[in-house]
Amino acid sequence: MDTLTQSGFQKFLAQTPWPAAICDWAYTDEDQTLSYQTFADWIARHDHGPLHYLSDHRAVLRQKLSNYYPDFQSALVFLFDYGQSHFLKAGGPNLARYVTNFQGADYHLVLKDALETIGLFLKSKLPDLHYVLSLDIHPVLERDLAHRAGLGWFGKNSMLLNRQKGSMFIIASLLINKKLNFSKRTRETDHCGTCRACVQACPTQAIDEQTRTLKAERCISTFTIELFKDSPAPPGYKNKEQWIFGCDICQEVCPWNKVETLPDALTPLQEKLKHFFLDCPITETISELEGMSNKAFERQFKGTSLARTGRVGILKNLKALI
């Protein structure tokens, strides 16, 4: 008995409170990626720099979804919005919006729960449905998947861009062992045109506009999120924006991103992040962190994105700015 309809699903999505708005979603049953060669060439050029987890045995899994999930039949792809602005300051210090805008929590945790909630709903309608998640860390080319579902195009900064929303969202998907009776969209075409705003704004010249990929070693995001121990900052890291975790510069300048202001009160986690990292000069945060043990840092920032790099990683980011 198939009681799952697209309108019923849409109603369920509209009635459920999510940790961030679902700004768009779509369905696809296309297994094969369109841009695996772009990925393979990128690895062959060593443009992944220090991101070794992308070039190991899992690289080839990204070619098609059924390499990762052999029962793959279809996917539901969701875009979770993080495009609000209440924390950003000219002259920094700044945290990437995704750090603060999922109520201050690590999106991997809150969106995993959100996807599981969606999965439970689907299973309540189709008991023999199974799924696995694709949420950043899985061997899936997620931008390509969202593009196949018709959710956007690849910007020159390599971001997946959506006509309504721009690029400030996290892509999170359920890969499913059944086809659903949902409508499919046509693929989005390129809408960057002659614009080069992101290429010009990147302070570290990390964007390779010909291939619409990044030279990961030069990206502030790699330095601040992916490198935990002492390592040299890319030239240009020390700039007036002072991104201490992640970097949104090439998205901020994109004409497709409309920055919104949130009137909401801050959650305790957001308050903590703001108070500790953004409201005082970097030199003060450094002394505070130097007087703190690794364990105390873990306790303070458990459940936030900053737990990834830990105290030593954040200190590395801050010290490279003074």
Site for ligand B12 in 35-64 (CB under 6 A): 35, 38-39, 42, 51, 54
Which of ligand SF4, ligand B12, none sits in contact with 27, Cβ below 5 to 8 A by type? Answer: none
Site for ligand B12 in 269-308 (CB under 6 A): none
DSSP code for 56: S
**Given candidates 98, 131, 237, 277, which one binds ligand B12 under the rule CB under 6 A?**
98
By CB under 6 A, residue 226 contacts ligand B12: yes
245 touches 95 (CB < 8 A): yes
Catalytic residue, from 136, 144, 248, 264: name it: 136
Establish whether the linkage from the previous residue to 93 is cis, with ω within 30° of 0: yes
Shortest-Cβ-distance residue relative to ligand B12: 246
Q: State in angstroms the smallest separation of the CB of 1 from ligand B12.
A: 34
Long-range contacts of 34-39 (CB under 8 A, 24+ apart): 34/144, 34/147, 34/148, 35/141, 35/144, 35/147, 35/154, 36/62, 36/63, 36/64, 36/141, 36/144, 38/211, 38/212, 38/213, 39/141
CA–CA separation, 292 vs 42, rounded Å?
40
Contact string 111-150 vs ligand SF4 (x = CB under 6 A): ----------------------------------------
Token pair belonging to 223: 């330095």
154 SS3 class: strand
Handedness of CA 126, 128, 129, 131 (dihedral sign): positive
Closest CA to 166 of 139, 204, 197, 141: 197
Q: State in angstroms the smallest separation of the CB of 226 from ligand SF4.
A: 11
CA–CA separation, 101 vs 18, rounded Å?
12
Shortest-Cβ-distance residue relative to ligand SF4: 155
Active site residue 136: yes
81 touches 111 (CB < 8 A): no
Count of residues in contact with ligand SF4, rule CB under 6 A = 24
Question: Considering beta carbons, is residue 220 or 315 the nearer one to ligand B12?
Answer: 220
Count of residues in contact with ligand B12, rule CB under 6 A = 38
**Given candidates 24, 142, 217, 252, which one binds ligand B12 under the rule CB under 6 A?**
142
**Given candidates 169, 237, 277, 301, which one binds ligand B12 under the rule CB under 6 A?**
169
CA–CA separation, 273 vs 87, rounded Å?
10
Question: Considering beta carbons, is residue 45 or 302 the nearer one to ligand B12?
Answer: 45
Active site residues: 136
Residues that bind ligand B12 (CB under 6 A): 34-35, 38-39, 42, 51, 54, 96, 98, 136, 140-144, 147, 154, 157-160, 167, 169-171, 212-214, 216, 219, 221-222, 225-226, 246-248, 250
